[in-house]
């Protein structure tokens, strides 16, 4: 049966900008024709299954018809999308500025002739890097290396950290590797391939390629059957909510985790599996939206500095405005920048910012065919410009505050069903009491026209675009509440 939400009048924030009314094109609200997945999606999934693994497919999308915050599926359902292609759509669907950029001849060249960027850079490469990735570089970081995806960004940031570590160990940057190092390197043996390690955290997600998978600990299924490195895994703070009622306990919990980090670095160094880097997400995303305080991260940064360990901040999911900061780690107000900060998703291409020290001194130490993508760089340029011109980071902060306030209200009203409303900017989440309750809620909300994401076992997570506004936040809350009332 058709189910339609009444178009709501726009209730806008004080800081409303020109994009407010036009962002979703003519779409005024969700409009559902079928349950999700609908019959057409189901048909296409069956067809898909004949050629590849199809069980991850959720809805087949009509990208032509989708606009702004609204995804339109092949069954004609118009769905408010708070998950946005796994948190990777910064400006929503079919944003005019992106469409315009794609149609510009100078940008089309990047699609027509894909360059091997670091060997054959396009003539405007330096200018494009400056007007995109470097235009929004984290404080204190002036170097950037482009890659393809998030996993690839982390793989290469870790390689950069290993090279940095060994250069330091050799003591003098001008002393290169010796012949034994070269001869053993080809056969996976030390000293050419040293037994270095990377410290990561329980519940972390840093990607699925073979190297970074050893730093990923969110779900066993991600790791099953794949050989892994023996690298140290520290506990990530398990904070109690509401935070304001558990200040002392949470502080002690964070101290416990930091203490364990120090011990693990000492243990691994003592057994000659030297810890070269520590990698961490500012908010653990896939692992269930786990937060820690700025003091925890400052403490971790200090341990890394004191122990000569590179500090890698994985901003693949938290980066590009969504937390109310361009980079989530800006909230920690570090005294010195991390050695490496990785990104992907909303930036449309992967890569990492790094300090000067982490720039390899020799060519071809970090390299691959494409090293990013000029076409995606052109999009990143537009995205960064739109974010700045429309104050979209501030928008994420303001709308996020309203949204989180609403989630907390729901938690207070339905304590038997919900707990742990948390977030930063629009990067918000709330837990259900059980995994089964989460599944029921998510499905019902989706069938009422709001797509929400999940993570961990019991968590509902929200990863809307940066153009998500107060009326979208209120609509999401209303739809969730309408389902909670029926549970």
Distance from C-alpha of 196 to C-alpha of 309, rounded to nearest angstrom: 11
Quote the least distance from Cβ 205 to ligand PSZ, whole Å: 5
Return the SS3 of 364. coil
Number of C-beta neighbours around residue 42 at 10 A: 14
* 218 near ligand PSZ, rule: CB under 6 A: no
The closest alpha carbon to 375, from 98, 93, 62, belongs to: 98
Distance from C-alpha of 237 to C-alpha of 295, rounded to nearest angstrom: 12
Exactly one of 206, 438, 446, 448 binds ligand PSZ (CB under 6 A); that residue is: 206
- Interactions with ligand PSZ, residue window 308-367 (CB under 6 A): 314, 316-317, 344
Query: Of the ranges 6-14, 96-104, 189-197, 203-211, which one interacts with ligand PSZ (CB under 6 A)?
Result: 203-211
* Residue placing its CB nearer to ligand PSZ in the complex, 85 or 293: 85
Query: Total number of residues binding ligand PSZ (CB under 6 A)?
Result: 16
289 among known catalytic residues: no
* 151 near ligand PSZ, rule: CB under 6 A: yes
The crossing angle, in degrees rounded to 10, of helices 392-413 and 374-389 is 70
* 203 near ligand PSZ, rule: CB under 6 A: no
123 among known catalytic residues: no
* 205 near ligand PSZ, rule: CB under 6 A: yes
Distance from C-alpha of 58 to C-alpha of 460, rounded to nearest angstrom: 16
Selecting among 83, 162, 201, 205, the annotated active-site residue is 205
Contact assessment for residue 404 and residue 397, using Cβ atoms and an 8 Å cutoff: no
Quote the least distance from Cβ 287 to ligand PSZ, whole Å: 9
* 288 near ligand PSZ, rule: CB under 6 A: no
Query: Of the ranges 19-27, 42-50, 147-155, 367-375, which one interacts with ligand PSZ (CB under 6 A)?
Result: 147-155
Selecting among 128, 345, 397, 448, the annotated active-site residue is 345
Contact assessment for residue 310 and residue 280, using Cβ atoms and an 8 Å cutoff: no
Selecting among 22, 369, 434, 443, the annotated active-site residue is 369
* 207 near ligand PSZ, rule: CB under 6 A: yes
Q: CB nearest ligand PSZ: which residue?
A: 150
Binding track over 91-130 against ligand PSZ, x by CB under 6 A: ----------------------------------------
* Residue placing its CB nearer to ligand PSZ in the complex, 31 or 145: 145
Distance from C-alpha of 446 to C-alpha of 299, rounded to nearest angstrom: 41
Distance from C-alpha of 393 to C-alpha of 396, rounded to nearest angstrom: 5
225 among known catalytic residues: no
Query: Of the ranges 143-151, 190-198, 327-335, 417-425, which one interacts with ligand PSZ (CB under 6 A)?
Result: 143-151
* 154 near ligand PSZ, rule: CB under 6 A: yes
Query: Of the ranges 75-83, 113-121, 145-153, 463-471, which one interacts with ligand PSZ (CB under 6 A)?
Result: 145-153
Question: In 235-309, where do the E strands start and end?
Answer: 275-280
- Convert 317-345 to b/e letters by CB count within 10 Å (16 or more is b): bbbbbbbbbbbbbbbbebeebbbbbbbbb
Query: Of the ranges 2-10, 14-22, 156-164, 204-212, which one interacts with ligand PSZ (CB under 6 A)?
Result: 204-212
314 among known catalytic residues: yes
- Interactions with ligand PSZ, residue window 53-92 (CB under 6 A): 86
Quote the least distance from Cβ 286 to ligand PSZ, whole Å: 5
Q: Output the CA angle 221-277-284, nearest 5 degrees.
A: 45
Neighbouring-strand partners of residue 81: 451
The closest alpha carbon to 158, from 327, 322, 365, belongs to: 365
Exactly one of 32, 149, 371, 483 binds ligand PSZ (CB under 6 A); that residue is: 149
Which of left, alpha, beta for 54 (phi over 0: left; psi -120 to 50: alpha)?
alpha
Contact assessment for residue 449 and residue 3, using Cβ atoms and an 8 Å cutoff: yes
254, 294, 306, 487 from 302: Cα distances, Å = 14, 12, 6, 47
> Which residues form the interface with ligand PSZ (CB under 6 A)?
86, 149-151, 154, 205-208, 281, 285-286, 314, 316-317, 344
Catalytic residues: 205, 314, 345, 369
């Amino acid at each position: 049966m058709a189910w339609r939400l009444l178009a709501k009048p726009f209730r806008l924030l004080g800081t409303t900008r020109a994009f407010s009314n036009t962002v979703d094109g003519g779409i005024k609200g969700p409009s559902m024709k079928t349950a999700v997945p609908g019959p057409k999606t189901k048909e296409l999934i069956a067809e898909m299954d004949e050629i590849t693994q199809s069980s991850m497919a959720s809805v087949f999308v009509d990208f032509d018809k989708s606009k702004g915050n609204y995804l339109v599926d092949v069954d004609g359902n118009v769905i408010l999308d708070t998950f946005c292609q796994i948190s990777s759509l910064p400006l929503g669907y079919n944003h005019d500025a992106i469409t315009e950029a794609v149609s510009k001849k100078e940008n089309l060249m990047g699609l027509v002739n894909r360059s091997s960027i670091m060997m054959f850079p396009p003539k405007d490469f330096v200018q494009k890097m400056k007007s995109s990735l470097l235009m929004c570089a984290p404080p204190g970081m002036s170097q950037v290396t482009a890659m393809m995806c998030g996993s690839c960004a982390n793989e290469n940031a870790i390689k950069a950290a290993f090279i940095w570590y060994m250069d330091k160990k050799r003591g003098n940057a001008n002393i290169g590797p010796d012949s034994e190092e070269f001869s053993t390197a080809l056969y996976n043996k030390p000293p050419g391939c040293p037994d270095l390690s990377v410290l990561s955290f329980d519940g972390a997600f840093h990607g699925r390629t073979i190297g970074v998978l050893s730093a990923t600990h969110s779900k066993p299924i991600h790791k099953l059957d794949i050989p892994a490195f023996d690298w140290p895994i520290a506990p990530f703070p398990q904070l109690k909510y509401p935070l304001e009622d558990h200040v002392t306990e949470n502080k002690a919990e964070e101290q416990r985790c930091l203490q364990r980090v120090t011990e693990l670095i000492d243990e691994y160094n003592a057994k000659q599996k030297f810890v070269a880097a520590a990698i961490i997400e500012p908010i653990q995303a896939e692992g269930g939206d786990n937060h820690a305080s700025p003091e925890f991260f400052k403490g971790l940064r200090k341990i890394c500095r004191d122990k000569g360990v590179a500090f890698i901040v994985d901003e693949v999911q938290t980066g590009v405005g969504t937390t109310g900061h361009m980079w989530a780690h800006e909230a920690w107000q570090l005294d010195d920048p991390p050695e490496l900060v990785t990104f992907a998703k909303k930036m449309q291409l992967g890569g990492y910012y790094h300090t000067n020290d982490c720039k390899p001194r020799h060519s071809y130490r970090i390299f691959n065919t494409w090293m990013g993508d000029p076409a995606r760089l052109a999009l990143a340029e537009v995205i960064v410009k739109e974010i700045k011109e429309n104050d979209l980071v501030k928008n994420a902060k303001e709308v996020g505050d309203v949204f989180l306030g609403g989630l907390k209200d729901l938690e207070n009203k339905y304590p038997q069903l919900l707990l742990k409303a948390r977030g930063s900017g629009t990067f918000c989440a709330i837990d259900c009491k059980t995994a089964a309750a989460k599944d029921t809620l998510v499905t019902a909300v989706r069938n009422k026209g709001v797509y929400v994401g999940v993570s961990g076992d019991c968590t509902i997570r929200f990863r809307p675009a940066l153009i998500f506004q107060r009326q979208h936040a209120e609509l999401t809350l209303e739809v969730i509440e309408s389902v909670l009332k029926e549970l």
